[in-house]
Chain A
């Protein structure tokens, strides 16, 4: 079965650079969630989109922005990167805006040097 696709899988950036993470949800899923997982931490919710509209916002820094496109894929844009942004970034998708199971992608490991 098709799963959530994330790209890139690994990303190394310098401080103050920008990064763009991409997420392609499971076909027919209309909701996308972004989570950040630091080393030894549980995933922390950043932001979500339902039918191309932002549906919820968590602890996402102002330096980050995201959107969902007409084909339901989503991009997380991160600017002025800081060392503390180094983490695993997961995208999850579901159908029906929070009423159903969320399936996670493989994650993007971002390292900021």
Chain B
């Protein structure tokens, strides 16, 4: 059974701090790993990672995948209060045709 574990489960920081969110996974026939941001509504797509060692970047957010060690990190630099959300990591693979298995999420709270 596919498994995704995120850490930490919650994180409280102040504006301007840098945070690193972790995601480890176990899945046969790995296909992709995705990061989403959820703010009391639908998950918003951030990144999709398929290859090891290639950093994806969007503004203050970046993410990288290590397929050998089976984990990914999501970095957020110069955090803002608007970054407060639940960050979800999900993987697809196995015998599925794209269904996502989600981790339990990291609750990030950024104080002014």
Contacts and interface: CB of A to CB of B under 8 A. Distances in A.
A33 B98 contact: yes
B44 A48 contact: no
Given A42-B103, A100-B48, A101-B45, 6 more contacts: A45-B100, A56-B99, A98-B98, A99-B31, A99-B32, A105-B42
10 contacts: A33-B99, A42-B88, A45-B99, A90-B42, A97-B98, A101-B34, A103-B45, A104-B42, A106-B42, A107-B41
Interface band, chain B: 20 to 34
For chain B, what secondary structure do more than half of its interface residues adopt (helix, strand, loop), or is it mixed? loop
Interface of B: 31-32, 34, 36, 41-45, 48, 88, 92, 96-105
5 tightest A-B contacts by CB? A98-B98, A42-B102, A104-B42, A55-B97, A45-B99
A90 B101 CA distance: 14
A97 B97 contact: yes
Nearest to A57: B99
Interface in A73-113: 90, 92, 94, 97-107
A68 interface: no
A103 B34 CA distance: 11
